[in-house]
Structure 1
Amino acid sequence: MLPEQVEVCADLHLRPYYGDKDDTDGLYHSEAKRGTTAFHAYATLYVRVQNKRYTLAVRRLTDGDTASSVLAEFLGILDGLDAEVKAVYLDREFYDSKCLMLLQAHNHAYVMPIIRWGQTIKQELSEGWSRVIQHDLTAKLDGHS
């Protein structure tokens, strides 16, 4: 039984695969991290209730899955909850323009770390911690920017 308002968390997990390169069928392939491009990958969605974690969904990632496609599925699950979503906490793997547009479309408050891409955001983040930053992250999604 969930309370009337819940805080929701979503994480993407990439566990490196260091085995035989011929045995990577069914694994998730991504940019090289920790010396490999093949990963056992999954996403989790859970709620926090009184500082306890209750898992709502676990999803295996396969090649072709994106952070935004996983987030779209998870937001669909949240729309089906009887509880109101107070806030969504996401890990840094969800930091892209498509995910931000999805969160805005579903009208959820959210928190996610900013990845320091580009000189402008690096400069903004190097000037201190406590302030509001205006930063544009642009892309096209279904003809909208």
Structure 2
Amino acid sequence: MRLRRATRSEVLRLRAIADYQFGYPAGDLLIPDDVIVGISPATRRIREIYGSEGLLAVLRAHDYLYSLSINGARRLLALPEPRLRAIVNSNEISKSIPCYKIISIDEELRPGDEVIILSEEKELLGIGRLRLSPLEIREGCGSEAIRVRKRVRKEE
């Protein structure tokens, strides 16, 4: 992976992708003006997005949409509630979250969307991918509602 500073047109394109995927003004929150991009040596396309705090997101090769990192999720928490959020009734999460553990969820989300997982105290617990629609989650089910991709490490 080759790292370099993004051009102005690349910054605008990366922000447009974030606005499309997460809704306006996610692009301005997620992609800073001084963004560093990781370029794939094989395809010469942007794959990784870095900010001052580290990796923010990865552009998936198959659909060119973002997979968030914990740092990217922290930036998107500035969006008004309940956008992109799922609140669970636990302070610890495992690799999957069943429907009965979800207290509230953004009704605008669709299966396959990135979701930010928060505790009842609004503490960031992790990031995952939604497996069911919010309607199915509200009605209750016995299966996996969110597949967790990354968890926040607890400081010892």
TM norm structure 2:
0.29
Greater radius of gyration (CA): 1
